[in-house]
Structure 1
């Protein structure tokens, strides 16, 4: 079966795919996917970079390991340390959990693509990856919104904080964040699944919705409108709620004394930093997709940075800004070291 070579032109995605064999054309009949010879997509990735791929592979692998270790440590200490029993650390552990799954939907696939001459993914696998990548991205921002509300209650209503942020309320807020991610993701991904695809080379590092949509046989204008509408819903809803929370926090802080202001700012600094980085990187990705001068390779690298940057920085930022979390991590590391040293001492004493 003839496959499209990777060295395609970046000028016109549809013209670049005209060399695809007719055996790869697919049809959509009676609401089912029917393939005339191809039941997979080819992930082009960064195949055109040559030997530079291995440098990127090493950097991305190291970053992914740090993401897994850092966020797993936050989850572990939040669940095991009684001193971190407050709602803030409950939400932070949920954010770390979301970040781990979010990066796992894309980065391992990207890493495997560096090691194989041609990376393929099944059609169902492609759409599952697409759905979870978008859903987890939206859910992560929804959790950041919940955390902003948590900071608002802690600073503006400190005496009622424990009565408002009860365990049922916390669980309801997290469930709402996941539900919001599903609502914003299901329509565009469902429409993409129901389309007929004439081409199967995805010019991205994974099954990105915008890149897959370029392979549609017909006119994807309606899909584009739906996708942009739900993207704006996700970004504007969470962004406005976070901004509103911090405006109210700012008004409350302005009425405090100097010492109280510093303490209140300290509790918000880490979250505010993470929010700024998250929305800035998302905006940059949006711009890169709509500026024609960016090459496909640059767009892929920007998307990888977007997918990895916030999950990578979250543990670092919260550890540096939060004294309780930093001390809890130190205690946990000390316990792990002691547990590792004791068996070796026992063995040496027996000998």
Structure 2
């Protein structure tokens, strides 16, 4: 690339849904509604878990962390998209774009790790129930969450620092509704080989290793459940992990759809819809899945709402 075509970039242009001027009001209302539902739903899960002593156990500790991460994950992309739709602006500052990419990688990685840790928790609870309190003690639970944060933050910071060394061409248009890393790398005029190597290595690790761990955990769980003699016992055992399995299928199904579907390329309308499923719809549905399929959460939410009504 001719160095003369390189220039100092002060902002990028997000050309995603902001291009569709005919449906601006509808898009704004839709995404604002989903954002509010996501935040309120996940906040209710956090409040229910923290305020109810019956839920002070590893499974719900991890669930409250997942709810917090989902709020942050959605907040990374949706508010800026809403501002751009409302103001008819497409711009995002260079520093803001890097920050958005960094936080997106942190919270996306945390989602993956927490779902894996929750699968491990259900594996221990069902396959090693007698040793469960010893294996999943508070110290180990806290350590698992801290390690997840460390790995997610480390990758995000390394990739962000590598982005700082890149120079960009005069075309600053990102064909997406947020600063998606792979899209931004296509705009760079300097060598991006190291960035792509790190990107695909981490995508492979975050896709293969955690998912393999989840598959292994649930294969052992299902095998153990099938050995339970009573039908009622099988139902109770499966109900303890049914919600998590639903969330895993939703998260990985939509996530893999974004990166593996040839039709859903990130520069197409289908690609953006697939990304909305992964970044907005899945975090919004998680509280509903857990509250509708989990008796303990439903009871805790009822007690929480009753206390609030009684106070007022």
TM (norm. structure 1) is 0.83
| Match in the other structure for 1:96 | 67
Residue 217 (structure 1) shift: 1.0
Structure 2 CA distance for aligned equivalents of residues 52 and 224 of structure 1: 35
Residue 25 (structure 1) shift: 4.4
- Secondary structure (helix, strand or coil) at the match of 1:195 reads coil
Q: Greater relative contact order (Cα 8 A, min sep 6): structure 1 or 2?
A: 2
Per the alignment, do residues 338 and 100 of structure 1 end up closer, same or farther by CA in structure 2, a change over 3 Å counting? same
C-alpha contact 2:258 2:264 (8 A) present in aligned 1: no
| Match in the other structure for 1:204 | 176
| Match in the other structure for 1:297 | 269
Structure 2 CA distance for aligned equivalents of residues 292 and 225 of structure 1: 22
**Out of 232, 239, 246, which is 2:211 matched to?**
239
| Match in the other structure for 1:180 | 151
| Match in the other structure for 1:73 | 44
Structure 1 CA distance for aligned equivalents of residues 61 and 121 of structure 2: 11
Greater fraction of residues in helix: 2
> Which one has a bigger Cα radius of gyration?
1
| Match in the other structure for 2:140 | 169
Structure 1 CA distance for aligned equivalents of residues 251 and 232 of structure 2: 29
Deviations 1:161-219 (A, max 9, x none): 11221111110010111122234434433323321111322221111101111111145
Per the alignment, do residues 54 and 25 of structure 1 end up closer, same or farther by CA in structure 2, a change over 3 Å counting? farther
Residue 73 (structure 1) shift: 0.5
Matched, 1:269 2:270: no
Deviations 1:283-336 (A, max 9, x none): 111135x44888633322321221012211110000111101101101111222
C-alpha contact 1:44 1:118 (8 A) present in aligned 2: no
C-alpha contact 1:184 1:231 (8 A) present in aligned 2: no
**Out of 98, 106, 109, which is 1:127 matched to?**
98
C-alpha contact 2:175 2:267 (8 A) present in aligned 1: no
Residue 337 (structure 1) shift: 2.1
C-alpha contact 2:48 2:300 (8 A) present in aligned 1: yes
- Secondary structure (helix, strand or coil) at the match of 1:224 reads helix
Matched, 1:335 2:304: no
Matched, 1:326 2:272: no
**Out of 248, 254, 259, which is 1:281 matched to?**
254
C-alpha contact 2:264 2:274 (8 A) present in aligned 1: no
C-alpha contact 2:73 2:107 (8 A) present in aligned 1: yes
- The number of aligned residues is 308
Structure 2 CA distance for aligned equivalents of residues 159 and 212 of structure 1: 50
Matched, 1:157 2:132: no
Matched, 1:309 2:273: no
TM (norm. structure 2) is 0.92
Matched, 1:57 2:31: no
Deviations 1:34-74 (A, max 9, x none): x2xx4122222222212212112111111110100110000
Residue 221 (structure 1) shift: 4.4
Listed as ranges, the matches of 1:255-266 within 5 Å are 255-257=227-229, 258-266=231-239
The worse-fitting range, judged by mean Cα deviation, of 202-211 and 178-187 is: 178-187
- Secondary structure (helix, strand or coil) at the match of 2:292 reads helix
Matched, 1:138 2:109: yes
Structure 2 CA distance for aligned equivalents of residues 256 and 51 of structure 1: 57
Runs of 5+ unmatched residues, structure 1: 1-13, 15-21, 27-34, 341-351
Per the alignment, do residues 294 and 212 of structure 1 end up closer, same or farther by CA in structure 2, a change over 3 Å counting? closer
- Secondary structure (helix, strand or coil) at the match of 1:51 reads helix
